[in-house]
Amino acid sequence: MMSGKKTLYDKIWDEHLISEEADGTSLIYVDRHLVHEVTSPQAFEGLRLAGRNVRAPEKTIAVPDHNVPTTVDRTEGISNKESRIQVEALDKNAKEFGIIYYPVNDIRQGIVHIIGPELGWTLPGMTIVCGDSHTATHGAFGSLAHGIGTSEVEHVLATQTLIQKKSKNMKVEVFGKLGNGVTAKDVTLTIIGETGTAGGTGHVIEYMGSVIEDLSVEGRMTVCNMAIEGGARAGLVAPDQKTFDYLKGRPHVPKGSNWEMALQSWKELFSDEGAFFDKFIHINGGKIAPVVTWGTSPEDVLPINSIVPHPGDFDQQKSLAVKRSLDYMGLNPGQKLEDVEINTVFIGSCTNGRIEDLREVARIMEGRKVKDGLRAMVVPGSGLVREQAEEEGIAQRLQEAGFEWRLAGCSMCLAMNPDQLSPKERCASTSNRNFEGRQGRGGRTHLMSPAMAAAAAVTGYLTDVRNLM
Amino acid sequence: MEKFSKIKSVAAPLPLINIDTDMIIPKQFLKTIKRSGLGKNLFDEMRYDECGKELENFVLNKKAYRNTNILVAGDNFGCGSSREHAPWALVDFGIKVVISTSFADIFFNNCFKNGILPIELEKDKRDTLMLDAEKGSNAILMVDLFDQEITRPDGSIIQFEVDSFRKHCLLNGLDDIELTMKKIKKINDFEQTYSTKMPWL
């Protein structure tokens, strides 16, 4: 560490460090603050009570996403009173404090972690925070991005800084080449299966290796998105030519000489050869299979051709949790995962609600239909993703195959809006959390890639997508 | 923020690992625009049945633990979402101390902003306190932040670590924003240098 060689995280940290106390408590500068309706009302209220302003409204971007209905009738207003009040509070706060705002009926509205990159608010080397744990998504651009609580939201609004202690460095190297039918989602779930949900606690993860380099920028977002599910507050990928190509020309990306200057600076964003990592794991990408989760923690993940494990296969503490989750999930030890029948398919979320994900679903569904009796919905991550999918004909093809085609929002990923599972309803979901009750009280979530969810939509069972390719 | 003083209470045992923030406060209660009033919905889906009736077996519904100020929990407590509603619900219920082997980072941070002390202990020490907690009203723990000590029912002491800055803020009930505002000149200077160096931001 003393060698002067720095990790990518060290470099971004140092660039944003305003002051540091003897015990390591530091004040860091925040470049972008993303805001949504659920974790911000109390923060704005705090500002109001203290008579404070938003220090940098031009660096503060707000959008409603968690509560908004995804049915077309939402243009007529939100019928759930509490949700409506929360969205109206954001409308009012955005106006009052003069921050950048994409209201519910703006074509650019969408899930906060989808629209940030899409509109070019997310740039390499930045610090980005949001009152949402999936802020880690933006790390795919080599920006230090993580979730914060509402008190911290208020702190950032008031001061454009955050009080932090530096995390440790963790390296996750995925080498080799992915097999057919294996995607970024399988990579990130496999990593969590390997490290456990607390494996990254106290760390910032940098993902690297040939598999990560080969992923599209969107795939990298899927990987970083779930860093938090491995316990890490932030995940990072060093920016490369793919990143720069993705960014160029987006609305809020620098232009002209500023672009050239930014590019020079972004090219320095990598971990120095020999930089120190406190922890590292290596995974052979060639051995990663399409996976699904079977339990109620994202670490409960197995290749699709496995069987449901037995509580006795785990240590005492985990065994207790496994017993509880098998009860909750209605699964029996020894049962083949491919024999598990599903009721619902959800395509969307900040993990897998981008255009590439919808294209993948459309590719698997080509010439196929959603199995009779299944509920299947596609919720694009943003209005612009939805529009693009319509232009590419994906929307029409998916609707013809039997999917509902919704408006943008977080939707059934956390079921704060009307898109919810009923008790015991079993869902093949492209979202990020399979916690008890996450998609609706008593609902049963199996996390998987968009391709795997499409395969499940076709057969009505958890299915190895490779059999459909 | 209220100053953190000594806490003397029975402790409720929650040995389950990976208790996530969705369990602590399910999403339907995140629609509030206030910080208060969430205590009744703390651990809602574990605590009540579909009709809202208390589930007898859940620890906080048992007589000995209904007014507890301390939780002793399984590993990786507070994982998942960043919702500060989780500590808001805990504090509204009356929980001031959570003891575990590990906490999720964001939850850990959020606790300190709300006057809750999360204590990280080695597994054997946490297990000892879990056994104490299971004895219900027969076992009172005392948590002293100033001396960084937990006194067990038999009088023996377990020491714990806490970050000095956070300890100072908790003990004195200090507000982070106030503290940062005192550094406003440093922030201004930083911003100026930074925007010269990176004019595209």
DSSP string, A222-251: HHHHGGGGGT-SEEE----HHHHHHHTT-T
Residue in A closest to B182 by C-alpha:
A159
Which distant-in-sequence residues (6+ apart) come within 8 Å of A133 by Cβ? A147, A228, B80, B81, B82, B106
Domain contains B182:
yes
Q: Kindly determine whether residue B50 and residue A423, on different chains, have CB atoms separated by under 8 Å.
A: yes
| Residue for token pair 């612009």 | A384
Domain contains B1:
no
Number of domains in chain B: 1
Which distant-in-sequence residues (6+ apart) come within 8 Å of A260 by Cβ? none
Cα separation of B58 and A67, whole Å? Answer: 30
Considering only CA atoms, which of A391, A384, A375, A302 is closest in space to residue A338? A302
pLDDT single digits (tens) A405-420: 999 999 999 999 999 9
pLDDT single digits (tens) A108-151: 999 999 999 999 999 999 999 999 999 999 999 999 999 999 99
Directed axis angle between helix B164-172 and helix B105-112, to 10°? 40
**Is pLDDT of A369 > 50?**
yes
Partner residue opposite A258 with nearest CB, options B18, B22, B199: B199
The answer to whether the beta carbons of residues A345 and A376 sit under 8 Å apart is yes
Cα separation of B148 and B125, whole Å? Answer: 14
Domain contains B117:
yes
Considering only CA atoms, which of B123, B128, B125 is closest in space to residue B139? B128
The upper half-sphere exposure of residue B97, i.e. CA atoms within 13 Å in the direction of its Cβ, equals 29
- For chains A and B, what is the number of CB pairs under 8 angstroms? 180
Domain limits for position B73: 6-197
Cα separation of A250 and A230, whole Å? Answer: 31
Distance from CA of A363 to the nearest CA of B (A): 32
Q: Kindly determine whether residue B26 and residue A161, on different chains, have CB atoms separated by under 8 Å.
A: no
Partner residue opposite B177 with nearest CB, options A80, A154, A435: A154
Domain contains B133:
yes
CATH number of domain containing B162 = 3.20.19.10
Q: How far is CA B125 from the centre of its chain?
A: 18
**Hey, how many other C-beta atoms are within 10 angstroms of the C-beta on A22?**
7
Cα separation of A69 and A80, whole Å? Answer: 9
pLDDT value for A375? 98
Domain contains B154:
yes
DSSP per position, B45-95: HHHB-TTSPBPTTSGGGSGGGTT-SEEEE-SSBTBS---THHHHHHHHHT-
Domain contains B105:
yes
Partner residue opposite A39 with nearest CB, options B17, B50, B82: B82
**Tokens representing residue A249 in the block:** 């020309």
Helix (H, G, I), strand (E, B) or coil at A299: coil
Residues of B in contact with A30 (CB under 8 A): none
| Residue for token pair 């990790």 | A7
Distance from CA of B54 to the nearest CA of A (A): 16
pLDDT value for A315? 93
- Over its length of 201 residues, how does chain B's per-residue pLDDT go in tens digits? 889 989 999 999 999 999 999 999 999 999 999 999 999 999 999 999 999 999 999 999 999 999 999 999 999 999 999 999 999 999 999 999 999 999 999 999 999 999 999 999 999 999 999 999 999 999 999 999 999 999 999 999 999 999 999 999 999 999 899 999 999 999 999 999 999 999 998
Give B 95-124 residues with CB within 8 A of chain A.
Answer: 102-106, 109-110, 113-114
pLDDT single digits (tens) A351-362: 999 999 999 999
Domain contains B57:
yes
A416 touches chain B (CB under 8 A): yes
**Is pLDDT of A1 > 80?**
no
**Hey, how many other C-beta atoms are within 10 angstroms of the C-beta on A210?**
14
pLDDT single digits (tens) B23-71: 999 999 999 999 999 999 999 999 999 999 999 999 999 999 999 999 9
Cα separation of A296 and A13, whole Å? Answer: 34
